[in-house]
Amino acid sequence: MQQTAMAPGTATDSLAARWRTLQEAEPNMRIRQMADKLGVSEMELVRLRGGDALIPLKDNFGDLLKALESVGPVMILSRNNEVVHEVTGTFKDFTSGRSGAMGLAVGEIDIRVFFKHWAYGYRVQEKVRSGLRESLQFFDQYGAAVHKIYRVADTDGEAWERLARSFADQELRPFKPQGARPVPQRVAPEAVNTEVLREGWRELKDVHHFGALLKRAGTDRLTALELLRGEWATELERTDGDVLERLLELLRDNQCPAMFFVGNPGIVQIFTGKVANLRRTGPWMNVLDSGFNLHANTESIRCWWLVRRPSADGIITSVEAFNSDGELVLTVFGERKPGIPESELWREQAATLEALS
């Protein structure tokens, strides 16, 4: 594989030196936070690795995800700035549409993929305390991580190696930093067609039609909730603790299964099940279960809403978290399947959370 060597004294050498200094000072800091602190994208740090520690991947990402079924269990990680979502499982029947713009897998690995935001991929090997850690990492055009797939103890090592080699690219494509991804602008309430919003909301038959309704009404998601406050949406406020911490405790104590959605523009990752092992570490509220980890920086979440939407199966209730830019960063539903009403157990937990606000 041909990778261009950087001459001493280049900006890359300077960044590498700054990164080493930061790693020595903050050995437990995640690479995303290091990138923020250094004023670069995460991918710029990943690309500092050399030799076999960084191998570029071909950009036929849909075929790669489909081929992952052969390697057995892996750990997948998707995140945004506020929430990290990790699931261990096996890919089954990953499919993509005719255009190749979208893809999905259901089952242990439950994801919805939007490939226009997948620009670069790499096989990454890094030394950690437990030994050598291997992963496939994917980034958008701004160098922000979209999705990561980690080899685990139960992964078929030979199949993993075959897959990595078959999708390896010969050239490390150039990357020109563009700055951070532009943040979608909020819509002013007076610009929203509230009649279309209210009528369309009352007539919803499927939660998957919600995005189309927002588009017809000319609004973003958070502005819609603010306009429907008291009708279909309640802002959750707690003076004696965090909303997520209380919700997770309710789910754990009442053995209530739920669906946790976390995403970014390139992917939505879902876990369905019960939670058990909860732990707060500073600003981070964590679920640390076998097969599922969730890490949420609750100090960086601006607001929480309890939302009710009509559907052909009855009212569907969700708890939704937004960051300071008004972007959705975490959604929690009760466990359910299409054609089946949501459970009364979930509704009880949602009502209790609402009453505590």
pLDDT at 10: 64
How many CB atoms are located within 10 Å of the residue 25 CB?
8
**Where along the chain do its domains lie?**
22-105+117-167, 189-275+297-356
Whether 183 shows a pLDDT value over 50: the answer reads yes
Summarised one tens digit per residue, pLDDT across range 47-67 is: 999 888 999 999 999 999 999
H or E segment and range at residue 307: strand 301-309
Nearest Cα to Cα of residue 356 among 245, 226, 257: 245
**Residues 189-275+297-356, CATH architecture:** 3-Layer(aba) Sandwich (3.40)
CATH ID of 22-105+117-167, from 3.40.50.970, 3.40.50.720, 1.10.357.10, 3.40.1570.10: 3.40.1570.10
pLDDT at 238: 67
* Burial profile 39-52: b = 16 or more Cβ within 10 angstroms, e = fewer: ebbbbbbbbbeeee
Q: List, in sequence order, every residue forming a beta bridge with 336; answer none if it has no partner.
A: none
Nearest Cα to Cα of residue 136 among 120, 148, 146: 148
Reduced to 3 states (helix: H, G, I; strand: E, B; else coil), residue 61 is: helix
Summarised one tens digit per residue, pLDDT across range 323-353 is: 999 999 999 999 998 899 999 999 999 999 9
pLDDT at 129: 81
pTM above 0.85? yes
The phi and psi torsions of 242 (rounded to 5 degrees) equal -95, 145
The phi and psi torsions of 117 (rounded to 5 degrees) equal -100, 5
- Equal fold, 22-105+117-167 vs 189-275+297-356: yes
